[in-house]
Structure 1
Amino acid sequence: MIVYDLKCRNDHQFEAWFRSSDDCDEQVSAKAVSCPICGSSKLEKALMAPALASGRGLRDDPAEGRTEEPAATRPAPQQVGQFAAMGEAMRALRALREHVEKNSDYVGERFVEEARKIHHGETEKRNIYGEATLEQASELKDEGIDVAAIPWLPRENA
């Protein structure tokens, strides 16, 4: 296994593990790898410092004529799965953002005021989104007004 630093078109840098350099090139070309931050599959290898082994902990394999790291230093399969899960969560949050933007009115810093007006029937009932502090959101919840804080990730093409 070999680790490469990859960089997406949005300049996010992350590590990915591959069986070989050719495997990395093939997967990147096939867009089989995506950025765990923005989901972009337009990737390139980033500059990286080589990892130099000290010779300790290496295992000789005379049958193959090579020396490699012991399995304990390789990434566990669950670590690779965690990166995939993080990427999936990021895609879901972006989809949620898109849904909110398409189906709600942006009221900006007037969010708290507008939420109260809607709750008390002073203005038409509609979906809104905007800015509020955690304290303001807590006050709205105490008043029986449903609010939710959503991590607002940048768009993939930002």
Structure 2
Amino acid sequence: MIQFSLVCDRGHSFDSWFKSTAAFEKLNSAGMVSCSLCGSDRVEKAIMAPRVTTSKKQAPSLKSENSPAEQALKELRNYVEKNSDYVGTDFVKEARDIHDGNSPERSIFGEAKPAEAKKLLEDGIPVTPLPFSPKRKSN
């Protein structure tokens, strides 16, 4: 789409959008473009810099860590890593050992299959998924 500044034979200025320059020329030569103020069909393009829009909007960059959501996730990750022990794939065993008193009570994080995490919850062992992978497993 392109926006043109137009002027009629009575000096009224107005803007209108067209699919292309060719579309404007075709409609104007057929008398189908008229002044929005007086209705005159004697219209021509005024001197201007045309505004062009594209149909596709550019997607925001996913690499930016400046969004509030990315910053919050980064802060959460830093907090968990600073205040918890990473136990890796031993998470389920270690969570059970802590719950049963066979291992010292502390905050841990690690990896578990969804079915294993569900079983821990069913057994009364509080766990929650984290929205990130350990740094060792991310790029």
1:131 aligns with 2:131: no
Number of residues of Structure 1 aligned to a counterpart in Structure 2: 92
TM-score (norm 2): 0.55
In structure 2, the residue matched to 1:95 is 75
Deviation track 1:82-132 (CA, whole Å, cap 9, x = no partner) reads xx9x92111111111100110011111110000001111111110001111
In structure 2, the residue matched to 1:59 is 3
In structure 2, the residue matched to 1:151 is 131
In structure 2, the residue matched to 1:35 is none
Decide which structure has the larger Cα Rg and report it: 2
Deviation track 1:9-51 (CA, whole Å, cap 9, x = no partner) reads xxxxxxxxxxxxxxxxxxxxxxxxxxxxxxxxxxxxxxxxxxx
Give ranges in structure 1 of 5+ residues lacking alignment.
1-56
In structure 2, the residue matched to 1:141 is 121
Question: Does the 8 A contact of 1:93 with 1:153 survive in 2?
Answer: no
In structure 2, the residue matched to 1:7 is none
1:68 aligns with 2:51: yes
1:1-158 matches, cutoff 5 A: 57-61=1-5, 65-69=48-52, 87-152=67-132
Q: CA RMSD of the aligned region, Å? A: 3.0
**Letter matched to residue 140 of structure 1:** L
1:143 and 1:64 mapped to 2: Cα distance? 76
C-alpha change, 1:153 and 1:58, in structure 2 (3 Å) is farther
C-alpha change, 1:125 and 1:154, in structure 2 (3 Å) is closer
C-alpha change, 1:139 and 1:64, in structure 2 (3 Å) is farther
Give ranges in structure 2 of 5+ residues lacking alignment.
7-45
In structure 1, the residue matched to 2:25 is none
% of aligned pairs identical? Answer: 38
